[in-house]
Chain A
Amino acid sequence: MPDYRNKLSSRYAIFAGIVFAVLGLLFIKLWTMQVLHGQAYAAQAEENRVREITVPAARGRIFDRNGKALVTNRATLAVAVAPSAAKNQAMIQRLSALLDIPVSEINDKIASTKEAALAPRVVAIDVPLDTVAYLAEHESQFPGVEVRTHAVREYPQGKLAAHVLGYSGEISDTQMADPEFKNYEPTDFVGKAGAEASFESVLQGDRGKRILQVDASGQPRGVIEEVEPVPGRDVKLTIDSRVQKIAERALADAMVDAHNDHFPHAKAGAAVALDVRTGEVLAMASAPTYDPNIFLGGVSEKTWRSLTTTSSEYPLSNRAISGQYPAASTFKAVTGLAGLQYGKTTQWRQYDCEGSWTKMGKQWRKWCWNHAGHGIESFMAGITDSCDVVFYEIGYSFYKDKPKREYIQKMAREFGFGSKLGIDLPGETAGRVPDAKWKRSYNEDYPEYATWLPGDTVNLAIGQGDLLVTPLQLASAYGAIANGGKVVRPHIMKQVLGTDGKPVLTAKPIPAHVPKVSKRNVSIMRSALKTVTTTGTGAGAFRGFEGTVAGKTGTAQVANKDDYAWFVGYVPADNPKYVVAVMVEQGGHGGSVAGPAARQIFDALMGHEVAHVTASDRSR
C-alpha cells in the first residue's frame, strides 16, 4: 500500500466535503426558488407571456324613423403621431409631403390638448394603401409615426341633421374625471353632442378583450382567452330624413328670400317640426350647419377655433333648442288665451286701433306695427292682422288687475315657456318669462330699473320686452293649442333596437304641462289662427296651399339687429297632425321669410309637392 494514502486521507475528506457542499448549496437554493417562492416566479412567468388587448365595441348606429341610416361605422387606416415627435420637424416635413397635409395642420393636431398627454395623435384618416406601404418600408425615417385601423363614424346622408345627430370623439380628460364615465378608457369614443351624446349609454357597447400568449419579442403566439365585444345598440330617431332635408333646404331658401327682401344679415335660423300628439320631432334644422366629417380622427385647434368664433355664427349651436329669441307676435296666442281665460277679452270684443296707443299716458305712446291704424278691430281680427293695439289693451288690463297682474306669465309657463321641455338632446335652454320678481333680482345693482312697470306687461303682451323663447318651445306651445291643450314633451328617440333589429325600447308621449285653459277658449284661438293664413299676415305665404294651415307670423325686434322673422303653425288646421316653427335671425318679416319656409315643411309633412313661394308681408 503506497505511503501517500494515510497521509492524504484527510485531504480526501475535505475534497468530498467540498463536492457535497456544492451539491447541497444548489439543492438549498433550488428548494427556496422552486418550492418556497415558486408561486411568485410562476406569476412572473405568467406576466411575461400574457398580454391583454382590449377590443373596442362597435358603436351603435343611428337611423331615421323609416330605418334609413343616418350614422354608421366604417374602418379606416389612420396615421398617428406620438406627441414627442413634434421635436423632429424634419420628419414632420416629410410626413406632410407624404400625406399632403400642411405642416401647420399636423403640428396643430399633435399639439392638441383634447387628447391624453402621451397618446399618439391621429393626424390623417383614410390614408391610401400605397402611403401605408411607403410608411412601413421607410419606418426608420418616420420615428413616432404609426399606422392603425381606426373605426370612424360614417354619415351616409352627409351633413343632414348634423345638429340632431351630433358627433363623437375621443373621451376628454374632463369626461374621464366624471363618475358617469368611470368605466371608460382614455382612447374610448364618446358622444360629444346631439343624439350621439344623449344616447351615449345605449350607443356605447361593452369592450371585448383578447388575452394573447406572446413570445419574448412580443409577437403573439396564440389566443388564451377571448371575450367578444358587445356592440352598442342601434337607435331609431323620430326624424324623417325626407322632411329633414326639406326643412334644411327651406331654411336656406328663407335666407335667400331675406337677402332678396333687403335683409342682407340673414345668416342663421332654425326650424323644427313636431307631431302634435306624440311630441316626436320629425325635423330639426339649424343654420349655419357643419360637416360632421371634420370631427373624424380628431379636430385640429384651428378648425375648432373656426367653428367657435363670433364671425362663424356658431355653426355647432343647435338654435332650434338652444337659441333664445323674443317671440314677438307669435306670443299673441298665449296673451290671447290668457285674456280669454281670465276675462280680459272676449272673442268679439271691439278695439279701436288708431295706429298708436296712449292709455299709459301721452309720453308713453306705443305704436301698432301698422302706423295707419287698423280701425275697429275685434279680438279675432287682432290675431288675423296681428294688431298690436288689441294686445296692448289686453296686457294693460292684466297690469291693472293687481291679483292677476302676472297671469300672462302664468299662462306662458303653463305652455312650457321659461323652463326646459326636457327634450332628449343636450344643450336645451329654458328661455325666459319675465315678471316682477325676475326684474328685481336681474337689476339688483340698478334699483332704478328694478321695478316692474305697466310698459313691461304691455311689451310682454306682444311678445317683446324681456321675453325669450326657443323655437322648440314655440312649436311645442302651438302643438298644445293644436292638440286641444296638452304640452307634450318633445323627443327625438323613437326606439332602441336590439341586435335582431327589433325594438327593445319604444318612447311614449309624456305630457309635460297641462295649461289651465278651457276647450272653448282653445277652439276660439284655433279659429283665429286659421284666419292668419287665409286673410291675415300669413296669407301671402300660404296662397294656394293644399289644405288648411293655422298659425301666426312674428317679426321680432332685437336691439342693434335687423328684425327676426318667425312663423309657427300647424296642419291640418281642423284636425292638426304637425306643428312647425321657423325662425330666421335678422330675416325681416315673418310672413315673407319664415312663412314660405314653413310652408315647404308642411308640404313635406303632408306629402304634397313642395312649393317655394315668395310672399310679401310688412306686419310685425
Chain B
Amino acid sequence: MKERSTFLGAVNPMLITVVVALAVYGSIVVNAAVTGMDAGPGMFKRHLFGLAIGLVPLIVAWIFDYRTLEGWTGPLVGLTCFLIISPRIPGLGATAKGAQLWLEIAGIRLFQPSEPAKLVFIVALAAVIASQKGRISEFRDVARILAMAAVPFVLVVAVGDLGTALVFAAITIGMLLVGGLSGRWFIALGLAGIVLVGAVLGLNAIVDKATGQDKLLKQYQMDRLMVFIDPSVDPKGAGYNLEQSKIAIGSGELTGKGLKSGTQSRLNFLPERHTDFIFSVLGEELGFAGAVTLLALYLLLLFTSLEISAQSRDLFGALICTGIIAMWTFQILENMGMTIGLMPITGIPLPFMSYGASFMVTNLMATGMLLSVWARRRA
C-alpha cells in the first residue's frame, strides 16, 4: 500500500463542489432572510466573514494527519468537556437567549464552544471505538465506550443545551452502528434509553413538585415537546412558531413566492428566520423546488461522505467520517423536521444554511476532516 501524495489525489472534487454549492445557496437564503432586518447588511457581511474564517480550520484539518490523534483519547475527552463547560467559567461566558452558551473574553464574544466540541468528541469517540476493531459485544467494552461518551453528554445536559445533547447522542449511535456494536446490545440500549427518558420525565415531575421550582427540564423545553405533540394547544404561545413556520413553508407551494417576497418571513411572522428557521424562509420563498434542491445537495454531501468513510485507510478515519455524517444527518432531520412539524422545536441550526459563524466554521472544519481522511485513503 502506498500513500498518495499528489495534490490531485488529496482533492475530492464532488465533496468540494457540493460544499461550495451549499455555501453559496446558504448565503443567498441568509441574505434574503436578513434583508429588512435593522442589522441586516451587517449580518450578511458577518455570514460571509464566517465562511472566510472557516477556510482556515478546513485547510488545517485537511493537511493535518488525523491518524496522529488516535492515541490522544484522554486529552480529547478532556478538551471536549472543557469546551462544553467553558462558557460557565467566570470571565469566559456570555448569555444569549436564556442559555449561557457563548465564549466571551474581555467583552468580545468569540464563538459557541459547543460547536467545535462536537468534532473533538467525534475524534475521541472514534479512537475508542476503533480500538475494538469492529467488534463490540463484551459488556466491559460497551461500558467503556458508553462511559466515555456519557461524560460530555451529561455535561451538555447540565449546562442546559438539550439540542446539542441530542446531537451527541445521534453521533454516538451512528458511530456505534458502523463501529460494530452487536444487535443484541442495540436492542438492550434502545430499551434502556426508553426507560431512561421515562425516568427523567417522571423524576422531573417529582422534583418540580417537591421543590416547587422548575428544576431539571425547563418549562419551555417541556412546552416545546407538548406543542410538538399537538401544535394547536397554544397557537399564540409555544405553538405559534411551529404554526407560522408550517404556514410559511406550505404557502411556498411548488415554486415559492420569490426571494425576499415571502410574506410570512418579511412580516415577522417567522421567529429567528435567519438562524433556526432559515429553512422556513427557503421553503416559503423558493417553494418545493428550492427545498428539493437543498435535499439533493444534502444527499450528495452525505453519500459523498459515506464514500469517503468507506474508502478510509483505517477504521479510525472511517468512524470520524461516520460521526460527521451522523451529526449532519441528525441536524438536517431535526432542523428541517421542526420547521414542518416532524420534530420538536430545539435550537439546532441547519448545516451550511443557518446564519452563525461558529456553526459555519465547525461545518467547514468537518469538511476539512473528511478531506483529510480522503487524502490518506487506501490506494
Contact = CB atoms under 8 A, between A and B. Distances in A.
A and B interact physically:
yes
A214 B267 CA distance: 7
Interface in A210-239: 213-217, 221
B333 A44 contact: no
Contacts of A138: none
A48 B244 CA distance: 9
B205 interface: no
Contacts of B179: 8
Given A7-B134, A19-B303, A38 B268 contact: no
Contacts of A27: 292, 295
Contacts of A20: 299
A35 B267 contact: no
B269 A38 contact: no
A31 interface: yes
Nearest to B269: A216
Contacts of A33: 246, 249-250, 340
Most chain B CB within a 10 A radius of its CB, from A41, A213, A215: A41
A20 B300 CA distance: 11
A45 B248 CA distance: 7
Contact of A19 (B180, B267, B329): B329
Contact of A22 (B244, B332, B340): B332
A481 to B, nearest CB: 75
Interface in B256-298: 263-264, 267-269, 283-284, 287-288, 291-292, 295, 298
Contacts of A16: 303, 306
B251 interface: yes
Interface string A2-25: 111001100110111011101101
B246 A49 contact: no
Interface size class of B (residues with CB under 8 A): 35 or more
A23 B269 CA distance: 27
B275 to A, nearest CB: 17
A519 interface: no
Nearest to A33: B250
Contacts of A213: 263, 267
B329 A221 contact: no
A115 to B, nearest CB: 29
B177 interface: yes
B29 to A, nearest CB: 15
A129 interface: no
A31 B288 CA distance: 7
B251 A44 contact: yes
Interface string B26-64: 000000000000000000000000000000000000000
Nearest to A49: B263
A215 B303 CA distance: 41
Interface size class of A (residues with CB under 8 A): 35 or more
B315 A4 contact: yes
B267 A12 contact: no
Given A15-B177, A45-B264, A49-B263, A30 B253 contact: no
B378 interface: yes
B252 A38 contact: yes
Contacts of A8: 134, 178-180, 318
B329 A18 contact: yes
Given A23-B298, A26-B295, A34-B291, A15 B250 contact: no
Contacts of A46: 251, 263
Nearest to A215: B267
Interface in B342-373: 342
Contacts of A34: 249-250, 252-254, 283, 287-288, 291
B104 interface: no
Most chain B CB within a 10 A radius of its CB, from A25, A34, A37: A34
B180 A42 contact: no
B133 interface: yes
A27 B267 CA distance: 27
A216 B245 CA distance: 13
A148 interface: no
Most chain A CB within a 10 A radius of its CB, from B180, B251, B283, B306: B251
B43 to A, nearest CB: 19
B325 interface: yes
Nearest to B302: A19
Contacts of A216: 244, 267-269
B280 to A, nearest CB: 11
A49 B283 CA distance: 18
Contact of B180 (A11, A37, A221): A11
A40 interface: yes
Given A3-B134, A19-B303, 15 more contacts: A2-B315, A8-B179, A8-B318, A19-B306, A22-B329, A26-B333, A26-B336, A27-B292, A29-B337, A37-B250, A38-B288, A42-B253, A48-B269, A49-B263, A221-B267
25 contacts: A1-B378, A3-B134, A11-B180, A19-B329, A22-B329, A23-B299, A26-B332, A30-B295, A30-B340, A34-B250, A34-B253, A34-B288, A35-B253, A40-B250, A41-B251, A44-B247, A44-B251, A45-B250, A48-B244, A48-B263, A48-B267, A49-B263, A49-B269, A216-B244, A216-B267
Interface of B: 133-135, 174, 177-180, 244, 246-254, 263-264, 267-269, 283-284, 287-288, 291-292, 295, 298-299, 302-303, 306, 309-310, 314-315, 318, 322, 325, 329, 332-333, 336-337, 340, 342, 378
Interface of A: 1-4, 7-8, 11-12, 14-16, 18-20, 22-23, 25-27, 29-31, 33-35, 37-42, 44-46, 48-49, 213-217, 221
What are the 9 A-B residue pairs with the smallest beta carbon separation, nearest first? A41-B250, A38-B253, A4-B134, A45-B251, A34-B288, A215-B267, A42-B251, A216-B268, A41-B251
